Amino acid sequence: MSDDIKYLPGHEPHPRETRRIFRNIYRVGYDTSIKCFIKDGGYETLKKALTMEPAEVIAEVKKSGLRGRGGAGFPTGVKWTFIPRGNTKPVYLVCNCDESEPGTFKDRYIVHQDPHQLIEGMIIACYAVQAHFAVIYMREEFPEAANIMKKALAEAEKKGFLGKDILGSGFDLKIILHRGAGAYICGEETGLINSIEGLRPYPRIKPPFFPAAIGLYGCPTIVNNVESLCQVRQVLMRGGEAYAAEGAQRSPGTRIIGVSGDVKRPGVYEIISGSLTYGEMLNEVCGGPRRGRTFKAIIPGGASAKVMRCDEVLKGRNPDGSVRKMSIFDVPMDLDSIAQHGSMSGSGGVIVMDDSRSMPKVLNNLNRFFAWESCGQCSPCREGNPWMLKLSTRICEGKGSPEDVDLLKSVADNICGRTVCAFGEACSWPTQAFTTKFREEFLALTKPINALKPHSAEAAEARKFLTRDDEA
């Protein structure tokens, strides 16, 4: 069927890509109107889903093995079944379109170019969990997408895909668009829920606030990523078993990978999960490093994933159980493989750095991001992130001592695992990985502590004790 699809010049899919979610991205003659979408077979899957029982839809999604695409990779169908049995409260569904993890830029295309795909996926998901009110939480930095989405929602309602008694099924659904205002923490599902409730988007403590049990307005709430909801549509379109049969066994289906940084052809690519290795992706699909450069490091799953050295020797397991040496380039791009090597595949944002880059500088950029985005609710993250930023800035400016590198790592260790939400891990992993794996680069920027000028009143005070012996 895809034979007759033409793409805009410069946006043609690479032969190793399989475009499902991205079928209509940069497609010639395709626009965001519902007419275009219906002509392309849109809302047919919804019709099919509405003939099924909600439990059957959930069963189908469970069977497909679909895993969330927001970063954590939790099985979507299983998440849906966490709504307490015998629940009498209303159920809500929230679409997380707060794409703000640096390095991730897949949802942008869906909401800008193919909004109805998402809406259809959402209606199916709402039907499955019997939610009658759903929210698309869209980040503020997508102003155009907000307008497109509003228009698309109005169109869908006009056509009877939203509102009362959808397509005569007796199912009612209202979807509204709620815009964020530039806060990374709103991508955390409970922070997002608080943001919708009009509270400060502080993540909630779990337990007891698991969204599927106590979410929006204290009711069971399912929070799914944009891509996950589009994948739900794919599952229903293709059937759960057929979906599960494709790609990596534990993370089937297609994945959208966004590659940024130092490659010849950065961009977004939709691939069958696990069908490519990082090496194939970067060298073949993305055209390899820039002229005269070599790859140095890869952040495989968005800014918070632990960085991988390209010359790192990883231990892979052969089918017969023996151990073989491999590198990051040999790791397949599914959800789990990279996790075995201490990093994560997250939301599929691959950031590549070549040998021209200073790793402390890269870390400093990330630390600034996390210090800026920390919501400040819990102590370790609120106080630890600015501290890490100050340390890494000082090291980059040549005002750090070798001890500061260890201190930096130690501060990250003190944040990790002690915070309210996963931001604590997200902000400490980069520092832990960078300072461990590129320690020599950090040390190269430092000076012995006695050669440094005090950088603050506190440091001057501390210096008195350090230099006492020299002066005597």
In the region spanning residues 23 to 82, those forming contacts with another protein, defined by CB under 8 A, are: none
Distance CA 1, CA 40 (A): 10
Q: Does 108 bind another protein (CB under 8 A)?
A: yes
* Binding range to another protein, per CB under 8 A, among 123-131, 190-198, 338-346, 437-445: 190-198
Q: Does 375 bind another protein (CB under 8 A)?
A: yes
Cβ atoms of residues 16 and 284 within 8 Å: yes
* Binding range to another protein, per CB under 8 A, among 61-69, 115-123, 225-233, 363-371: 363-371
Distance CA 290, CA 205 (A): 45
Map the footprint of another protein across residues 194-213, applying CB under 8 A. Answer: 195-202, 205, 207-208
Q: Does 285 bind another protein (CB under 8 A)?
A: no
* Binding range to another protein, per CB under 8 A, among 32-40, 173-181, 234-242, 248-256: 173-181
Q: Does 462 bind another protein (CB under 8 A)?
A: yes
User: For residue 252, how many other CB atoms are within 10 A of its CB?
Assistant: 25
Distance CA 186, CA 196 (A): 9
By rule CB under 8 A, what string of x and - marks binding of each residue 404-423 to another protein?
Answer: ---x--x--xxx-xxxx---
CA angle (376 as vertex; 370, 377 as ends), nearest 5: 130
Q: Does 376 bind another protein (CB under 8 A)?
A: yes
**Closest CA relative to residue 117, chosen from 177, 209, 8, 32:** 32
Instruction: Give the nearest distance from C-beta 28 to another protein in angstroms.
Output: 20
Q: Which of 17, 60, 101, 441 binds another protein (CB under 8 A)?
A: 101
By C-beta, is 353 or 426 nearer to another protein?
353
* Binding range to another protein, per CB under 8 A, among 25-33, 72-80, 114-122, 371-379: 371-379
By C-beta, is 45 or 364 nearer to another protein?
364
By C-beta, is 249 or 379 nearer to another protein?
379
Q: Which residue has the tokens 């950031």?
A: 351
Residues pairing with 332 in the sheet: 277
Q: Which of 89, 238, 293, 357 binds another protein (CB under 8 A)?
A: 357
Q: Which of 96, 190, 343, 385 binds another protein (CB under 8 A)?
A: 385
Instruction: Give the nearest distance from C-beta 4 to another protein in angstroms.
Output: 27
Q: Does 383 bind another protein (CB under 8 A)?
A: yes
Q: Does 382 bind another protein (CB under 8 A)?
A: yes
* Binding range to another protein, per CB under 8 A, among 72-80, 223-231, 360-368, 431-439: 360-368
Q: Does 214 bind another protein (CB under 8 A)?
A: no
- Identify how many contiguous H helices and E strands the chain contains and give both numbers: 18, 11
Q: Does 139 bind another protein (CB under 8 A)?
A: yes
**Closest CA relative to residue 348, chosen from 264, 439, 231:** 231
* Binding range to another protein, per CB under 8 A, among 73-81, 310-318, 357-365, 435-443: 357-365
Q: Which residues contact 24 (CB under 8 A, 6 or more apart)?
A: 30, 37, 40, 113, 114, 117
Q: CA torsion sign, 57 to 59 to 65 to 71?
A: positive
Q: Which of 76, 100, 431, 446 binds another protein (CB under 8 A)?
A: 100
Residue 69's Cβ-count burial label (10 Å; 0-12, 13-18, 19+) is: buried
Q: Does 143 bind another protein (CB under 8 A)?
A: yes
Instruction: Give the nearest distance from C-beta 109 to another protein in angstroms.
Output: 10
Distance CA 232, CA 240 (A): 10
Q: Which of 25, 229, 297, 366 binds another protein (CB under 8 A)?
A: 366
**Closest CA relative to residue 124, chosen from 66, 65, 166:** 166
Residue 436's Cβ-count burial label (10 Å; 0-12, 13-18, 19+) is: middle
Cβ atoms of residues 18 and 271 within 8 Å: yes
Cα–Cα distances in Å, from 425 out to 203, 325, 381, 431?
A: 14, 28, 9, 10
Q: Does 459 bind another protein (CB under 8 A)?
A: yes
Q: Which of 369, 429, 438, 442 binds another protein (CB under 8 A)?
A: 369
By rule CB under 8 A, what string of x and - marks binding of each residue 286-325 to another protein?
Answer: -------------x---x----------------------
Q: Does 333 bind another protein (CB under 8 A)?
A: no
By C-beta, is 42 or 211 nearer to another protein?
211
Structure tokens belonging to residue 406: 């260890």
Instruction: Give the nearest distance from C-beta 103 to another protein in angstroms.
Output: 5
Distance CA 46, CA 407 (A): 55
Q: CA torsion sign, 345 to 224 to 45 to 175?
A: negative
Q: Does 179 bind another protein (CB under 8 A)?
A: yes
**Closest CA relative to residue 93, chosen from 275, 203, 209, 223:** 223
* Binding range to another protein, per CB under 8 A, among 4-12, 47-55, 122-130, 265-273: 265-273
Look at strands 267-272 and 254-261 and give their pairing.
antiparallel
Q: Does 238 bind another protein (CB under 8 A)?
A: no
